[in-house]
Structure 1
Amino acid sequence: MQAVILAAGEGTRMRPLTESTPKPMLPVADRPLVAHTVDAAVDAGVTDLVLVVGYEAEEVRGYFGDEYRGVPVDYAVQEEQLGTAHAVRSAREHLEGAFIVLNGDDLYDDESVAELVEAGERGPVVGTYRVDDPTSYGVFELEDDVVTGIVEKPADPPSDLVNVGAYVFPAEARDWLDVEMSERGEYEITDVLARVIDERSVGTVEVDRWLGCGRPWELLEANEWKIGELDRRIDGEVRGDAELRGDVVVEAGATVEHGVVIEGPVLVRAGAEIGPNAYVRGATLLGEDTHVGHGVEIKNSVVRAGSAVPHVSYVGDSVLGKDVNFGAGTQVANLRHDDATVSHTVKGERVSTGRRKFGVVAGDGVKTGINTSINPGVTLSTGAVSRPGESVTRDR
């Protein structure tokens, strides 16, 4: 079976993190987001990979190459992002038999992907996920465990099984991709699914774990999941009385100085330097060549490659882009005084993150002056700066 992985999107709801990085290539634990889905497909035994690329396509090509883990890789270019059916249609020339379609910016547990591939060898299937409130999703209609339809965001859901963007289509579906544009102005894969439902009996595989990763706090969730699956491994240099507790991974080429305490799950990538006397905890990713200095505490955060938090600072529940530099004494607040959930700006609108604790989202190249304080839920756009002693209470 072939696997079509949709990885063409920019991810505007992830801005500023995606201004120079396509959303599927944002870091989740020890690899890009999309690589987790590709690895699951390879482990499930797919024979070919077709990656649909678009925004910053060369970054995706550079990572996967022409062959990935022994499986040949083809690329289909989606010049404009005009919907999921349009994305799969751009891969049509590469398709020969039955094929599985997976979202490159979603996470699925590996066992469920394997079950989808196995079930798909017997006929068309869709991935489903059970939720308490399906009204914000595409919801499947079923009769005797066979899919009879799908309803988008229904007020009265026909089931609690929602669409997770995972489909196994028969070979004939290659010719059914020329659907009409929807009212949203996109070519929808669910319209292709409707044709498959008319022509064939479509089964279901209930996915054990799934996460749609579209907004910055969901990138934290994704890292909480995948860093939490890592086993302890210390390949880098750990000096003196540094204390590493639990499932901590220190890659070769990383350095942990005297007096540092790390409480897993934490991943320290190659070239990173921590300490002396720093405290790192709670599903934190410290990317390649990052620097965490004296007296710094970092908790449950993603710090991307080349960034530095050098002196006596606190960063909690935050995402820092590449080459960020926080001046000495920078303090990130991640908790509201009223204990309400923290809101964050997504495409110009304030949206609840659903999280009681959420700090700052800093784009690439952000620099803060010494003793800067930053309110919960603030976005610092690419290249933004603060003055020494400044309190940053709004997006910049």
Structure 2
Amino acid sequence: MKAILLSGGFGKRLKPLTDYLPKPLIPIYNYPIIEWQIHYFKKFGINDIIVCAGYKADQVIKHLESKNLGVHLEYSIETDPLGTAGAIKKASKYIDAENFFVINGDILTDIDLNKLKTHSNSIAVIPLRTSFGIVHLNGTKVERFEEKPEMSDYWMNAGIYYLNTDILKHLPKNGNLESTTFPFLSQSGMLYAVKYDRVFWKSVDSYKDMEECELLIKTNKYEKFIFSR
């Protein structure tokens, strides 16, 4: 079993930090994002990891090779941005098993990967999380405020996938999964969703996200989860 880390983005919303440091190496509560992700996969017994790197890839490789992370790493380097689908297609030469995991390069989570293996070509989904507070009304009167609730009737893509190698023939050389391959698979009845409720999940895309992620790591005791056996 192998996992692909999609870590080739520019991290434009994290400028000027990412002018000097690639997004995967941004530190969040003691560890760079990419190290959290590697240890996350190790937690579930996945020790063969393909790193898709693009922007400042040399820094990413140099950092990882200087660490003793206890995993086997391979690198798929993008000289030009390929999108999530294109990155997987380029990295597919390293895939030698029937199924493999994929995670977007800015996500920290405790989602149970074993549950995701129920079906090939599955995506993890979580309740939609609004970044705004909700006002509950009774007619024109305000009853109460609810701060950043989960919208339990709506599900969002958590950016974690369990894919079959059959998908590779449907991947474009350049483009994103969400706008190319996934719509085709869903229309063909070949794409599954696994629901996760009340999980730790955070995408780091801004300075505010960094602050919120560190707080969530503390409150959810995420470090203990990751490093416990």
Name the TM tier (shorter chain).
0.7 to 0.9
Equivalence map 1:316-327=2 (5 Å)? none
SS at match of 1:168: strand
The whole-number CA distance in structure 1 between the counterparts of 2:96 and 2:168 is 8
Structure 2: gaps spanning 5 or more residues: 132-150, 224-229
- Name which of structure 1's ranges 94-103 and 120-129 shifts more when overlaid on structure 2: 120-129
Partner of 2:108: 107
Tell me the CA shift for residue 96 of structure 1: 2.2
Partner of 2:9: 9
SS at match of 2:213: helix
Tell me the CA shift for residue 47 of structure 1: 4.1
Q: Quick one: which of 209, 212, 215 aligns to 2:200?
A: 209
Does structure 2 conserve the Cα–Cα contact (< 8 Å) formed by 1:116 and 1:125?
Answer: no
SS at match of 2:113: helix
Partner of 1:30: 30
Output the TM-score relative to the length of structure 1. 0.46
Counterpart code for 1:192: T
Deviation track 1:215-262 (CA, whole Å, cap 9, x = no partner) reads 11111112222245378xxxxxxxxxxxxxxxxxxxxxxxxxxxxxxx
Partner of 2:46: 46
Identity of counterpart residues, as a percentage?
A: 22
SS at match of 2:123: strand
Counterpart code for 1:166: I
Counterpart code for 1:178: P
Larger Rg: 1 or 2?
Answer: 1
The whole-number CA distance in structure 2 between the counterparts of 1:46 and 1:99 is 10
Pair 1:218-2:212 in alignment: no
Does structure 1 conserve the Cα–Cα contact (< 8 Å) formed by 2:125 and 2:193?
Answer: no
The whole-number CA distance in structure 2 between the counterparts of 1:20 and 1:13 is 14
Pair 1:119-2:116 in alignment: yes
SS at match of 1:59: helix
Deviation track 1:250-295 (CA, whole Å, cap 9, x = no partner) reads xxxxxxxxxxxxxxxxxxxxxxxxxxxxxxxxxxxxxxxxxxxxxx
Partner of 1:93: 93
The whole-number CA distance in structure 2 between the counterparts of 1:124 and 1:65 is 31
Tell me the CA shift for residue 91 of structure 1: 0.7
SS at match of 1:167: strand
Does structure 2 conserve the Cα–Cα contact (< 8 Å) formed by 1:169 and 1:196?
Answer: no
Partner of 1:172: 166
- Superposed CA RMSD in Å reads 2.7
The whole-number CA distance in structure 2 between the counterparts of 1:160 and 1:61 is 38
Shift in alpha-carbon separation, 1:89–1:119, aligned structure 2, 3 A: same
Partner of 2:127: 130
Aligned positions, number? 199
Does structure 2 conserve the Cα–Cα contact (< 8 Å) formed by 1:7 and 1:54?
Answer: yes
As a proportion of its length, which structure holds more helix? 2
Output the TM-score relative to the length of structure 2. 0.76
Tell me the CA shift for residue 118 of structure 1: 4.4
Equivalence map 1:294-305=2 (5 Å)? none
The whole-number CA distance in structure 1 between the counterparts of 2:37 and 2:121 is 20
SS at match of 1:86: helix
Pair 1:200-2:201 in alignment: no
